[in-house]
Structure 1
């Protein structure tokens, strides 16, 4: 086996472990990691349209419709029709959705602090740099799916990591 294959396996395993931990950690709020991310993006982009939200989250439009419907049914978001084009729906948080974000953000900070506690700030920066570099390469490659990684311009992992690192100091 070569190192790239071993690295690929390790990254896949890490991704699955992070996914499971986020799933366990946010289930107490009644929604999962992707739904929390959806709420964060709506909060940051008040009135965003569903198509743009699907692109930012790197999900298929049909999956986005399902997520939005569930969040609307739960009373976390509302949809409002565009005044000029009735086919376009704008998404807004409800008060309940805003409260849910506060709880999720606090939990996310605790989870990510625990996930990366074994790394120094320098190691975190290097891991972030390398991850973003690899994601940029994968996005530019025509031989692979263009949406494999969520690049920082789409509000992906790197942007969230920088936000958390910049606004929250870890206990070493």
Structure 2
């Protein structure tokens, strides 16, 4: 039986997710693409998909939009001409720098109410939940929920 406390925790997760979406730009997917390409230099779409843990179709759509906006460029790999590498354009590099600065500022303020110990405690709890939820991806209950949408 689900407890009121569990329902309240679930409600807080939903509220926090909505807050982050509404108040930190909404397009965190593009921000993450900029971050990884800035950090790694260039990589294939498959490598990026693995890092981001997103569906291929979602990433393809995002890459197309970012390429059309002049943030990303595609080049053929010198090692294997069949592989297309993604990297940041000059405009993309500037945007990545701006996004990283903004994210640092936002993150600092999001957690400013916590002590270092509280941050460590929350991190441990979230890490434990994340590990458990990764295992739940394979649970038949969640496959049923996905099919119902």
> What TM-score comes out, normalization by structure 2 length?
0.83
How far apart are the structure 1 equivalents of 2:5 and 2:102?
35
Counterpart position of 1:2:
4
Residue 48 (structure 1) aligned to one of 43, 49, 53: 43
Residues paired across the two proteins, number? 138
Counterpart position of 2:90:
95
Shift >6 Å, 4+ stretches? none
Residue 143 (structure 1) aligned to one of 136, 139, 146: 139
Per-residue deviation, 1:81: 2.3
Per-residue deviation, 1:44: 1.9
Alignment of 1:81 onto 2:76: yes
> What TM-score comes out, normalization by structure 1 length?
0.73
- Find the residue that maps to 1:20 and give its secondary structure: helix
5+ residue gaps in structure 2?
144-149
Larger radius of gyration: 2
